[in-house]
């Protein structure tokens, strides 16, 4: 393909010959770049795209087979995906990515949105279905919480909005951010994500919205998630006792052992619920675009946040060794978490449809604390 560039009509050099160039002249340099990214070592691929070569190849295959992405004449799916991942991993601007890949800013922007739409399309298969803790669980952090599905919390992710919208997005910490609700199982895999709420909105309101949405958070009756005191202790959501210390840093090796059932319960609940904090830490270490406000419209920023959560699950399932997780403190989390069996009749399952504190759920928490105290 050959393009011709003419001088400006106002230019004094109208007698100069047109400048011609061919898009195919860029191909050798682009091929060399792609070979360096994922054709040489896993280390280079992980450093630039946050996944090894096998995981990257499988992701491109999935985007082709399930999302309908196709190779264009000059830009294959691998390069489209690589430009998108580089943007997420290092929070590069479009023109910087275009320079790195020897592409125009328009090309980078176009394929970034194409890949983003394709990844979001995969949410139904990459967001996991949690399995409750049962009698076979031998993890000392979780075996006290029979029926627990995992943990949930909200995290603030900085965004860039118009001056008129800034007050609504200002969080209690003074940052312009979106309040993102996320739910994960005990294996650091995300179950549900709800980004987009303004930073000034209370956590409890976001949770109520997630539960009441038609395709929102589904919590089976009899099961529950571990939460903090920003939520009500209600059916499906187990919180700590108020007025009793429960932060994990307060239970170090030199501190006094719990002296009451409530303190014992809060300590063990916090040790288990710490999984959501670790999941957030890994997520933000992996994707640089989550660590500072991007320059896209707020709708695009919200969708990019969703893609980061979905790709986290993909990497978690495809890479046996994740260097980002190895940098985290604490022990590793292993296991596949299981999936619902094909014979399970989901049409008969009843879900929690309200988030309101009840006497029955408060009594359940009290009984669990007494059980832990008596069996310590």
Sign of CA dihedral 161, 167, 168, 169: positive
The pLDDT value recorded for residue 355 is 79
**In whole angstroms, what is the distance from residue 264 CA to residue 188 CA?**
24
The pLDDT value recorded for residue 41 is 81
The pLDDT value recorded for residue 251 is 54
The pLDDT value recorded for residue 243 is 79
**In whole angstroms, what is the distance from residue 182 CA to residue 184 CA?**
7
The pLDDT value recorded for residue 161 is 94
**In whole angstroms, what is the distance from residue 223 CA to residue 183 CA?**
14
pLDDT tens-digit profile of 148-165? 999 999 999 999 999 999
Contact 156, 173 (CB under 8 A): yes
**Which of 55, 265, 298 has the alpha carbon at shortest distance from 157?**
298
The pLDDT value recorded for residue 19 is 53
**Which of 261, 245, 239, 229 has the alpha carbon at shortest distance from 374?**
261
pTM for this predicted structure: 0.84
Contact 305, 160 (CB under 8 A): no
The pLDDT value recorded for residue 58 is 95
3-state SS of 199-268 is CCCCHHHHHHHHHHCCCCCCCECCCEEECCCCCCCECCEECCCCCCCCCHHHCCCCCCCCCCHHHHHHHH
Q: 122: how many CB neighbours lie within 10 A of its CB?
A: 19
The pLDDT value recorded for residue 229 is 87
Residue 246 has phi, psi (to 5 degrees) of: -150, 0
**In whole angstroms, what is the distance from residue 122 CA to residue 309 CA?**
11
**What residues in the chain have per-residue pLDDT under 50?**
1-13, 330-347
The pLDDT value recorded for residue 92 is 92
The pLDDT value recorded for residue 166 is 94
Q: Considering only CA atoms, give the Rg of the chain.
A: 25
The pLDDT value recorded for residue 297 is 93
């Amino acid at each position: 393909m050959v393009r011709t560039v003419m001088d400006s009509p106002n230019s004094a050099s109208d007698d100069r010959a047109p400048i011609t160039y061919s898009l195919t002249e860029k191909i050798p340099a682009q091929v060399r770049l792609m070979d360096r990214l994922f054709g040489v070592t896993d280390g280079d691929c992980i450093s630039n795209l946050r996944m090894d070569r096998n995981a990257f190849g499988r992701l491109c295959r999935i985007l082709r087979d399930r999302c309908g992405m196709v190779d264009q004449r000059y830009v294959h799916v691998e390069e489209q995906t690589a430009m998108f991942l580089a943007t997420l991993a290092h929070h590069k601007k479009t023109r910087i990515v275009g320079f790195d890949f020897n592409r125009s800013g328009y090309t980078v922007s176009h394929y970034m949105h194409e890949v983003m739409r394709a990844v979001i399309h995969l949410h139904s298969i990459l967001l996991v279905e949690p399995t409750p803790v049962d009698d076979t669980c031998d993890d000392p952090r979780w075996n006290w919480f029979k029926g627990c599905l995992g943990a949930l919390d909200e995290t603030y992710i900085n965004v860039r909005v118009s001056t008129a919208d800034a007050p609504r997005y200002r969080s209690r910490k003074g940052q312009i951010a979106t309040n993102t609700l996320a739910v994960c199982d005990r294996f650091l895999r995300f179950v549900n994500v709800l980004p987009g709420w303004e930073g000034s909105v209370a956590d409890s309101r976001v949770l109520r919205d997630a539960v009441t949405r038609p395709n929102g958070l589904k919590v089976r009756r009899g099961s529950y998630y571990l939460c903090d005191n920003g939520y009500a202790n209600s059916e499906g959501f187990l919180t700590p006792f108020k007025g009793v210390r429960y932060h994990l840093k307060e239970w170090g090796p030199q501190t006094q052992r719990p002296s009451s059932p409530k303190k014992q319960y809060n300590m063990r609940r916090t040790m288990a619920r710490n999984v959501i904090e670790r999941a957030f830490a890994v997520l933000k270490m992996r994707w640089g675009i989550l660590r500072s406000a991007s320059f896209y419209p707020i709708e695009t920023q919200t969708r990019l946040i969703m893609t980061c959560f979905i790709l986290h699950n993909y990497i978690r399932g495809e890479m046996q060794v994740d260097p980002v997780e190895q940098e985290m403190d604490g022990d590793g989390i292993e296991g596949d978490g299981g999936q619902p069996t094909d014979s399970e009749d989901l049409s008969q399952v009843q879900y929690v449809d309200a988030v309101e504190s009840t006497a029955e759920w408060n009594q359940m928490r009290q009984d669990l604390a007494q059980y832990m105290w008596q069996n310590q």
